Amino acid sequence: MKKILIGFFSAIYAITAQAQVLEPVKVDNLVTVSLPKEFSKKDTLGQTIYSGNASLGYVVVIKSPNPPEKTLKKEKDLKKVFKEYTDKVVQSSGNGTVLNSKDTVVNNVEVRDFTLATTGEQGNQMRRFRVLYTKPATYTFQYTYPEEREALASKEMKEFLASIKTAPDFDGKDQYATFGQSQGMNTAVKIILIGVGALLIVLVVWLVKRNSNKMAV
């Protein structure tokens, strides 16, 4: 039965893919993303929302202005913003579960990627998010699809996310004030150095004992 369903969706994809090719759209001078040819654009309460049906999923892009007085100083402040956004998405979903949440660097800037899994009358829905924070605005990119269509929708979803481009001169300085400056030693680096130090101590102790045994003989 599963093979039949995959074959059915593959046929649907083959028929509709040409009509639903994603095409580049300039959100503003900073961000460009590929959207379905027939998309809608709305300006609501200061937000700009792009949406449309792709071949196997539903695409939404939201640009929300940030308060002028909100300036992030450190990377940890950026991570706090990502966490707050993720928590709000979960709360608004009612019964959503966050999967595969991680921060990564794309086009020289840090973004938050995660998937929200929800259950409703239409079955299990997967909403893949990418959140990009800048000083003037926050950009949210969403690709939603039914869970049973995941194997087929994966390619289009990756194409959508890979199409997100930012201006060449845009980097972490446009996200938080101390980007590129020393902010203390990274936690992971500290753990590695502690581990290496412990190994060196063990090695020194072993060498001393071995030399002592040789001298005793």
Q: What is the mean pLDDT of the chain?
A: 83
Residue 162 lies in a domain: yes
Place of tokens 């009358």: 121
Total structural domains within the chain? 2
Helix 2-16, helix 150-162: angle, nearest 10 = 40
What is the domain range of residue 67? 2-174
3-state DSSP percent of the chain in helix, strand and coil, to 5: 40, 35, 25
d(CA 119, CA 97) in angstroms, rounded, equals 9
Q: Whole-prediction pTM value? A: 0.74
- How many Å apart are CA 84 and CA 97, to the nearest integer? 15
- Measured distance CA(91)–CA(97) in Å, rounded: 10
Q: Classify the C-alpha dihedral 161-167-171-176 as positive or negative.
A: negative
| 108 and 31 share one domain | yes
The domain that holds 6 is classified in CATH as 3.40.1000.10
**Do 217 and 151 reside in the same domain of the chain?**
no
Do residues 82 and 132 share a domain?
yes
How many other C-beta atoms are found inside a 10 Å radius of the C-beta of residue 149? Answer: 17
The most confident of 3-7, 63-67, 105-109, 191-195, by mean pLDDT = 63-67
Report the distance separating Cα 99 and Cα 156, nearest Å. 19
- Asked if residue 179 is part of any domain, the answer here is no
How does pLDDT run across 129-179, given as a tens digit for each residue? 999 999 999 999 999 999 998 899 999 999 999 999 999 999 999 999 998
